[in-house]
A and B are shown apart, each in its own frame.
Chain A
Amino acid sequence: MNKELSSPSTDLTNELDKTIATIRETMENLTRIAATDAVYGKPIKSGGITIIPTAEVLCGMGFGLGSGSYNPSEEDQPVQEQRTAKDETSPEPMSGSGSGGGGGGYSFSRPVAVVIVSPEGVRIEPVLDRTKIALAALTTAGFMIGMMARMLRQPRY
């Protein structure tokens, strides 16, 4: 049996290409399919009034891959000889390769507004996230107080 062996770097390149293609495809799907279907919810009908919830959807993903290999060269010959002399059970020169990869993703959704369709007409009611507003207000207040305190601390002359 004469099976042709591919090098680890070729395998890695193929794997990376496949991964990039998968990520790109996922992102294409996210923009193509999820855009309107994820943003606008299913209409809820109740007593002549139809409510359509809306939300914003944020999705991020990333992937990384790395590899390394060691092949003995002429420069490393003394090291090889030393090793061979010490360890007779493994006379083969040291060589090897390794690779690793990792990826991650994040998805976030937040209600934005509600579309209300009634016999009187169509209107959009915004959804206020009080927690986010309170956090933003506290951050702003903290920044202002910090800046004032820093200015007061500095000597005036």
Chain B
Amino acid sequence: MSPLLQVENKAGTPVLAGRTRIIPFAQSIRLEFPGYPGGLVWNRPLSILAVSANGDEQVIRVVDATRRVQVALLAGGLLGGLLLWILDQKIRKGISNE
């Protein structure tokens, strides 16, 4: 039986751009529910390895800016909601004590 969640990092075909060789890396996340035919596969870029002509290596991460902003907004909304609720509870407590 295959596991529920599988995460794999894979290197792609190297690309020669000028005198620089680029090796792309991708991450593959596979979600499968045992006993149910079907599943979910999510492939996303992870990073690139740039090897220059003189042998210098540079690893650059691929940042998903849209997702970061989305997560930040969601987290901000939840945190803001929690703070509002705490503030409301404090005000109510203050009123009932008076």
Residues of chain A touching chain B, judged by Cβ–Cβ distance below 8 Å, are 16, 19-20, 23-24, 27, 30-31, 34-40, 43, 45, 48, 50, 52, 54-65, 103, 110, 112-113, 115, 117, 119, 122-124, 126-129, 132-133, 136-137, 139-140, 143-144, 147-148, 151, 156-157
Residue interface mask B20-61, A partner, CB < 8 A = 1: 101011111010100011111111110010100000001011
19 contacts between A and B (CB under 8 A): A23-B37, A23-B39, A35-B28, A40-B45, A43-B17, A59-B40, A59-B41, A60-B39, A62-B39, A103-B38, A112-B44, A119-B18, A122-B22, A122-B48, A124-B62, A124-B63, A148-B84, A156-B92, A157-B96
Residue contact A61 to B38, C-beta cutoff 8 Å: yes
Bound Cα distance A31, B27 (Å): 9
Bound Cα distance A52, B61 (Å): 14
For the complex with contacts A50-B15, A54-B24, 11 further pairs of A-B residues with Cβ separation under 8 Å are A36-B24, A43-B17, A52-B24, A55-B45, A56-B43, A59-B40, A60-B38, A61-B38, A115-B48, A129-B66, A151-B85
- The verdict on B69 contacting chain A, using a C-beta distance below 8 Å, is yes
Chain B residues bordering chain A, tally (CB within 8 A): 54
| B38 neighbours in A (Cβ, 8 Å) | 23, 60-63, 103
- The verdict on B5 contacting chain A, using a C-beta distance below 8 Å, is no
Residue contact B65 to A128, C-beta cutoff 8 Å: yes
Residue contact A39 to B26, C-beta cutoff 8 Å: yes
Residue contact B62 to A151, C-beta cutoff 8 Å: no
Across the interface, B11 reaches (CB within 8 A) one of A36, A62, A133, namely A36
Q: Chain A interface mostly helix, strand, loop or mixed? A: mixed
Residue contact B26 to A63, C-beta cutoff 8 Å: no
Bound Cα distance A27, B39 (Å): 8
Bound Cα distance A26, B85 (Å): 48
Bound Cα distance A56, B84 (Å): 36
Nearest chain A CB to B15's CB is how many angstroms away?
A: 5
| A38 neighbours in B (Cβ, 8 Å) | 43
Across the interface, B24 reaches (CB within 8 A) one of A40, A58, A148, namely A40
| A43 neighbours in B (Cβ, 8 Å) | 15, 17
